[in-house]
Amino acid sequence: MILALETSCDETCAAVMAPDGTLRASVVASQSAEHVAFGGVVPEIAARRHLELLDPTVRAALRDAGLSLDDVTRVAVTAGPGLIGALLVGVGYAKGLAWGRGLPLVAVDHLHGHVASLQLAPEPPVGPHLVLLASGGHTLLLDVDGPRIRTLARSMDDAAGEAFDKGARLLGLGYPGGPALAALAAQGDPEAHPLTTPLAGRDDLAFSFSGLKTALAMAVAAEAASPSDLAAAYQEAIVRHLVERAALGLAATGRDTLGLVGGVAANERLRAALPGLPARVVAAPLALCGDNAAMIARAALDLEPLAPAALLALDAHARSPLG
């Protein structure tokens, strides 16, 4: 049995997975309430809460799976990217557990975990495919062919999830901003004050959201439309941009399957828009779009454990080679 840990940001996560890929348990302890007053994640608070929550979360996952530590045969942990302090809590716990019990340890890239979440969908992609990864920290277009993951495009500035959160702040909404903005957008008309799609007319695959954020700030300051209409227009522009870039990626690579992963993959408008592409679209299960340890466990199935010396030397890293 694989015991997986994920502590890259403000969710304390543990999961248990069987060697055949059957998910036995997945527990996520949210810290949102601790960060609301600050309008975003405070790294020091996140790290301290991971210290308090990780062991109870691991015990809860094992309890839900009907197992004990004696049943664990492999440990997996997110080593990066993410908040260094938060990551170090998970990495330190995993190293101590693996070394103390003589278990193999697998270090997983958080972004690889998101890609692997597609394999937990009811009908996962088969063969080479593209993946649109849209989250609070990353917006990437990835070409996936078995164990090989190649980055085709990334954002030149903000990530899509960051754009949602900043837009929500401009509209006076609470944290977390993405769901709040989407809820407000559902009450508005995106055509009442349409915003220009980023990089419209360009045929390269890059993403950009900073100009759109500026356009929203100017519209809010000018009271150009109601908050709900502005939220709808802002969301629509983000979605159009993501869909257009995905379409360009499909055309450039000839792939016929597109995967959608990351926190923004939970956005209903984006999920409704992507099936219009000339490809089979597979979205990660809603419960696995945000940070979770189930995706880390699934990624670990395809990775080799660290050698003993590498286990002891394992450290957290803030950036990923993928993005």
If one counts every other C-beta atom within 10 angstroms of the C-beta of residue 81, the result is 22
pTM for the whole structure: 0.96
**DSSP per-residue codes, 135-147:** -SS-EEEEEEETT
> What is the distance of C-alpha 93 from the center of its chain?
22
**pLDDT in the model for residue 237:** 98
Residue 4's beta-bridge partner residues? 15, 76
For residue 62, give the CATH number of its domain.
3.30.420.40
**Angle (nearest 5°) at CA 179 between 177 and 183:** 115
Mean pLDDT for the chain overall: 96
| Co-location of 220 and 298 in the same domain | no
Q: Is residue 145 part of a domain?
A: yes
What phi and psi values does residue 116 have, to the nearest 5 degrees? -65, -20
Average pLDDT over residues 57-69: 98
**pLDDT in the model for residue 203:** 83
Q: Is residue 120 part of a domain?
A: no
Q: Is residue 132 part of a domain?
A: yes
| Co-location of 68 and 192 in the same domain | no
Q: Is residue 18 part of a domain?
A: yes
| Co-location of 133 and 206 in the same domain | yes
Q: 3-class DSSP state for residue 34?
A: helix
**pLDDT in the model for residue 188:** 98
| Co-location of 101 and 17 in the same domain | yes
Q: Is residue 149 part of a domain?
A: yes
- What is the spatial distance between Cα 122 and Cα 268, in angstroms, rounded to a whole number? 18
What confidence tens digit (pLDDT) does each residue in 229-254 have? Answer: 999 999 999 999 999 999 999 999 99
**pLDDT in the model for residue 33:** 83
Q: Is residue 318 part of a domain?
A: no
**pLDDT in the model for residue 35:** 85
Q: Is residue 321 part of a domain?
A: no
Tokens representing 16? 């248990």
Domain range for residue 177? 126-283
Q: Is residue 323 part of a domain?
A: no
Average pLDDT over residues 197-225: 95
| Co-location of 235 and 299 in the same domain | no
| Co-location of 184 and 275 in the same domain | yes
Q: Are 296 and 133 in contact (CB under 8 A)?
A: no
214 or 323: which leads in pLDDT: 214
| Co-location of 31 and 10 in the same domain | yes
**pLDDT in the model for residue 257:** 98
SS3 letters across 160-211: HHHHHHHHHHHCCCCCCHHHHHHHHHCCCCCCCCCCCCCCCCCCCCCECCHH
Position 258 pLDDT exceeds 90: yes
| Co-location of 58 and 135 in the same domain | no
| Co-location of 268 and 303 in the same domain | no
| Co-location of 180 and 270 in the same domain | yes
Counted domains in the chain: 2
| Co-location of 59 and 165 in the same domain | no
What confidence tens digit (pLDDT) does each residue in 107-158 have? Answer: 999 999 999 999 999 999 999 999 999 999 999 999 999 999 999 999 999 9
| Co-location of 194 and 79 in the same domain | no
